[in-house]
Structure 1
Amino acid sequence: MIVVIPARYSSSRLYGKPLAMIAGKPMIEHVWHRAVKGIGDAGRVYIATDDDRVLSAAASFGGQGIKTRSDHPSGTDRIAEVVEILSLPDTEIIVNVQGDEPMIPSDLINLAGSLLEEDPAADLATLTCPITTLEDVLNPNIVKAVLDASGYASYFSRAPVPFDRDGNMELGLQNGIYQRHIGLYAYRVETLKRLTALPPAPTEHLEQLEQLRALYNGMKIGVVPIPEAPPHGVDTQEDLIAVRRLFGEG
């Protein structure tokens, strides 16, 4: 198992995000430490970036940086380039840890990779947790996951799914029907190659959810349920301020 951390410097909502300082360290260093703790091997954690400033920061704290192209449409495509650069075997398991998750619990990283190690039928692995408020069910920024009886994902949506025809969503909340998707993925290299070679799926285009490409093409996504959502990542300046507070700043 290896971890790849995509870290794009020119984020449209927070420019230079990987190097934003939190508690005296760049954000990417916090993510790297969490990843190393998660798999217990710094030599198997890579930071994939298109910017020399991030590479320099990674080298300063002992991280392994890999320079990738700047035209990748997604972090998944950036990881696929890392696979080519490292010539990884098709059976290798890769965990994709976003570079803007400085508070990601380390055990979740290992959980996702371990599911693939234990379940040869799963092509990908991800996480979900129960949604506990109606506000979150209705929030399109919170992605909902629908699971089958075997614990594989049937669908992901920004809409309130499964839809309660009788309008009794509160009962569904009480019964744990509504599941929130946690955007952490593990793939085998062979799956990653297939996935990035495929065109976007119609459902992916509508929902703007990349994981729907896998489902549309018949891939199985295994799901690890966890009791609650991890701390929010950093998308905006407001998120950065909030995370700094959680680290004891301000």
Structure 2
Amino acid sequence: MQEVEVVVAHSERATLRVGDVFLKIDADQTRTDVEVEAMAIAPIPTPTVLWRKPPVLALAALPGRALGHLGEPSTASPAAWAAAGAAVRMLHDAPLPPWPGRSLDELASRLDGECGWLVTNGVLPTDLVTRNRRIAEAALRPWTPVFTHGDLQISHVFVDGAEITGVIDWSEAGRGDALYDLAILTLGHEEHLGDVVAGYGTDVDLEVIRAWWSLRSLLAIRWLVEHGFDPSAPGCEVDVLKARM
């Protein structure tokens, strides 16, 4: 008898696995709309949509395994990481999706708010927040928009050997900064940045990628805490911020 596996669950959404089928339940159908459309137009492998009956989206499981997980060493080969970089480049070279992404003003405003919350509530030391905010500001510069995944965590990239078998969780896709995707892919796995950039195949500004590591971590901590996750676990967001010190 097949069992129901809870992949992730919090107040906004849940993902269940039953055999080779993933059931995604999302309170915000706008996110699901984006996910379905993004997977339809992305030029890289994505899960097959089996059916959709709001608020549930059913997807077929991808072959292979995740490139890795935040807070854990990745056992994937350098070639697999390079293949991930090449897949990201293919996505970024594709035509822009028809919906917009986040603006610089929105990101700057969120950074102000999250840094204030972290300090006011004593979640992180003031000097740690101040140092990383200064680093993060390098990411807040004009960029040429590309088709971005928007949440390209390594656990969302599946590989079989050195082949990318698919990328999941497209609800944050949109027009954005190419270096943001590269930063999220390598967040907490700085040792693989060179492999990803080699696969990406063009020069990138490494300081901006490091700035995005700080910015993403500062923005994520409150949400993680409020939804039952631990950003202070070894190798996760708080350690990413400490590494910048």
**TM-score normalised by structure 2 residue count:** 0.32
